[in-house]
Amino acid sequence: MANKLAIVTGGNKGIGFAIVKALCQHFEGDVYLTARDVQRGEKAVKELNALGLKPKFYQLDITDDGSISNFKTYLEKNHSGINVLVNNAAIAFKMAATEPFSVQAEETLRVNYFSLQKVCDALFPLLLPGARVVNVSSSAGHLSNIPGIELRQTLSSPELTVDKLDSLMQQFIESAKQGNHEDFGWPSRAYAVSKVGVSALTIIQQRQFNSDSDIIVNSVHPGYVDTDMTSHKGPLTIDEGAVAPVYLALLPEGEKNIRGKYIWCDKTVRDWYKN
């Protein structure tokens, strides 16, 4: 139970797969590739085994409360705590998607924001001193993607709480159903709202850890990567997309500055509040 532990959600393909690969190469400990689909997850593990890497696999559906609970129980029984958590699992509707915007809004926020938060709520108590958490955001997760001035002010307030942020995300869903979300200052891009939520949540999470812990939480834009999510239009390889997330996952002990930040794919800190 003494081995260090790293966990990557949504690790069976794309950026998540590349993050698992890089952690297997550079992290001294056990690396868990988690995925919703067992067959795809085990196939991904075999691909990494062929490269001489030894990730472990565990089935995790971040949208299923029971699945999250089972994973937590398993970790408690088999490991002494978590050193690295990379929240990568996410969805994005295609531009040509035929689902109504209200459906896209609810499902995108359910997976990308609320389910990510549920994973954090379950696993944060298992984080060890010095743990590193990486919330995979996006360039779409920059605050500037929110048109409403008052809404941006609320999202950037140092007084913003998780409960208030949850309410704002729910307000977007409900207004999308009513068709008046733009009146409240929201964009007509559900993915952007979900990732702005992730970026804002990251800041709150770090604030909660600052008082008595060396635990560090950051969000990251991995770049425009050639994946299924981008319909393979991104110019970066998945390995290039993994660079910044892995950099944050392996921040050295005693890091003082890169805490609760929004990190670009070139590993630089970007001002989340300003263009």
The catalytic residues are 191
With beta carbons less than 8 A apart as the criterion, state whether 108 and 101 touch. Answer: no
Quickly list H helices, the chain.
14-26, 38-49, 65-78, 101-109, 116-123, 149-155, 162-178, 190-209, 238-241, 243-249
Instruction: Say if residues 128 and 80 touch (Cβ distance below 8 Å).
Output: yes
On the 0-12 / 13-18 / 19+ scale of CB atoms within 10 A, 118 is: middle
Alpha-carbon separation of residue 227 from 14, 33, 57, 177, 219 (angstroms): 5, 18, 21, 30, 19
**Distance (Å, whole) CA 106 – CA 104:** 6
Q: CA 228 → CA 215, 225, 233, 240, 273, distances in Å?
A: 32, 9, 9, 15, 29
Helix, strand, coil content of the chain in percent (nearest 5) = 45, 15, 40
Torsion of Cα atoms, 27 then 210 then 191 then 148, to 10°? -160
How many other C-beta atoms lie within 10 A of the C-beta of residue 1? 8
Query: Which token pair is 34?
Result: 């988690």
Distance CA 165, CA 114 (A): 11
Q: What are phi and psi of 42, to 5 degrees?
A: -65, -35
